[in-house]
């Protein structure tokens, strides 16, 4: 696999070839993903839940994200490294620029932020300073206390229409990618068609340009009830390497997510 860039992903969307992403937090899982065909490794603030044992992503700091980004970048190979700006670290353009710059210096190649209509000025400012941005829409875990829990977003017609408009506005502002979490499959399909930038989905149906899962989830390493959109890829005795390769193959073939992983 040649080095994955934004142009690589844009060309894949244009040609109709799907790409894959996994969330990882250290060099071991970063190497597992990159050496088995994953194009984008996301250093997610979900490390608050998965690594730190917190109840949400809210306690995660910029310093935490920089540490884990350095770990992941050290073994990412040709994969692109995307890193989350954590809770309340991008409330203003200046704050976003300062904190995003720290993540880029730690090894990130694109920054992910959560939100919709209020983000275009921040997206534009970061792009002007050489920092590509992926915007996370739908279920945004940093806003769980406002949303009233982890619930599917965009089922109401007004909310769905607002999300489509926001996606187009964010593209116009300079967003390089979008990530849709826990939205109905038909809405994700509409947004993916409405924009020319790549769209990654998680719990957003099969018609997005890419899929992402937390590597711990798809390897069945997390305890408790799994989200509807998670598939366990290690049920039949596969090695972790085989499991990741099977995930990549299924995403590219369009067989994951299947009907049981999709919100209607």
Q: Give the C-alpha distances (Å, rounded to integers) separating 36 from 41, 146, 172.
A: 12, 38, 34
Question: What's the Rg (C-alpha) of the chain?
Answer: 17
Beta strands in the chain (DSSP E): 19-23, 40-43, 80-84, 110-114, 133-138, 177-181, 199-202, 210-214
Q: What is the DSSP letter of 201?
A: E
Exposure pattern of 108-145 as b/e (b: 16+ CB <10 Å)? bbbbbbbbbeebbebbbbbeeeebbbbbbbbbbbbebe
Q: How far apart are CA 254 and CA 257, in angstroms?
A: 7
For the question of residue 181 being annotated catalytic, the response is yes
Q: How far apart are CA 13 and CA 9, in angstroms?
A: 6
Instruction: From 119, 65, 115, select the one nearest 93 (Cα to Cα).
Output: 119
User: 181, 238, 259, 260: which is the annotated catalytic residue?
Assistant: 181
Q: How far apart are CA 164 and CA 8, in angstroms?
A: 25
Catalytic positions:
181
């Amino acid at each position: 696999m040649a080095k994955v860039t934004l142009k690589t992903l844009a060309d894949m969307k244009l040609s109709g070839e799907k790409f894959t992403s996994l969330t990882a937090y250290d060099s071991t899982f970063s190497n597992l993903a990159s050496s088995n065909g994953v194009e984008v490794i996301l250093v997610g603030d979900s490390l608050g839940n998965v690594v730190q044992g917190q109840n949400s992503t809210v306690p995660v700091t910029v310093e935490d994200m920089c540490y884990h980004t350095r770990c992941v970048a050290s073994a990412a190979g040709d994969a692109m490294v995307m890193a989350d700006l954590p809770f309340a670290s991008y409330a203003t353009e200046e704050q976003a620029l300062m904190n995003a710059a720290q993540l880029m210096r730690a090894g990130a190649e694109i920054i992910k932020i959560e939100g919709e209509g209020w983000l275009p000025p921040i997206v534009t400012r970061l792009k002007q300073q050489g920092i590509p941005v992926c915007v996370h829409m739908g279920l945004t875990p940093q806003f769980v206390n406002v949303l009233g829990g982890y619930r599917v977003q965009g089922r109401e017609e007004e909310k769905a229409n607002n999300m489509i408009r926001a996606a187009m506005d964010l593209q116009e502002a300079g967003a390089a990618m979008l990530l849709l979490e826990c939205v109905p499959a038909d809405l994700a399909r509409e947004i993916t068609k409405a924009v020319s930038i790549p769209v990654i989905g998680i719990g957003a149906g099969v018609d997005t340009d890419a899929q992402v899962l937390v590597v711990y989830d798809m390897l069945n390493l997390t305890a408790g009830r799994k989200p509807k959109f998670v598939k366990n890829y290690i049920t039949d005795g596969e090695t972790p390497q085989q499991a990741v390769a099977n995930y990549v193959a299924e995403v590219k073939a369009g067989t994951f997510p299947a009907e049981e992983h999709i919100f209607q």
